[in-house]
Structure 1
Amino acid sequence: MDQLPESARRVAAAAAAAGLAVNVVEMPDSTRTAEEAARACGCEVAQIVKSLVFVGAASGQPYLLLVSGANRVDEMAVAAELGEPLVRPDGRRVREITGYAIGGIPPIGHPEPMRTLIDARLLTYEVVWAAAGTPRCVFAVDPAALARAASATTYAF
């Protein structure tokens, strides 16, 4: 683990603190997109957890959406669920909110808790793969355990 980038070590520590027994690994190739991650991890695209950050247009409150790599976000439907329109923040703001750059945002381990929704499709798998702080670091995890660790509400994206 000492060989991992600092941001990946932070994710591993956050996982351990949340009671998740995960092994963060650094892949030789990029895992920035769901397709790249699926190739690197040897799994279906649907088993990739996309950690997407949105901000409430009225409140400025950040929201974290943990979406299956095979699904797209219907922003209008999610906005209705959350009670306000959503805005996609730029990369600088995402880093401020999460502590990580786009392409490596983990589903846990952020400076402040966020209201989090997890894709019901992810919960149909025994194992899913999530980013671990860099565009090449990932970890495998039981999706139900991840949902508990992230205090996520199940949502059908």
Structure 2
Amino acid sequence: MANPHEPHFLKLLLPGFHSGITIPLGFFSKHIERKTNQKTWKLRSDASDKIWEVIQEGMRLTGGLKDFATAHDLRIGDTVIFKHEGDMVFHVTPFGPSCCEIQYTDPDIKKEEADAGDADDNEITVGNIRSDGWQSSRHPTNQTLRSGHVNERVCTLVQS
């Protein structure tokens, strides 16, 4: 269950999101409007130790958002959860279009794992086809990885 002291909202990233996203009215009214005079949000994520500053203009996040989105390889169709941690600091968690949380990994680690894996692991054979017709593989294929500026990201299922 969500902590009521850390309210949050989610946004589906639509075309044009790099230039700004609208803060949901309910969240804005309850947690932002008339609560603070600060117009700079501090965004942090698990992908980096860096704190990103984004400007709030009315009910929109604008200045600095493009840099944050580019560094995190955010794309149209991704969903982002903004969790308010207090004092205009927000922890941002991105989810891919498949609704899986995006996990960021060091590109050097991914390369080492790929070099260590067998090429046969990605080959479709009778031995790695499940009874439902889907391929079973121990390693992610290239289709599950995205190249980002912070680092690589992999979509994984999150259990609650």
TM over 0.5: no
**Structure richer in strand, relative to its length:** 2
Q: What's the TM-score, normalizing by structure 1?
A: 0.25
**Computing the radius of gyration over CA atoms, which structure comes out larger, 1 or 2?**
2
Q: What's the TM-score, normalizing by structure 2?
A: 0.25
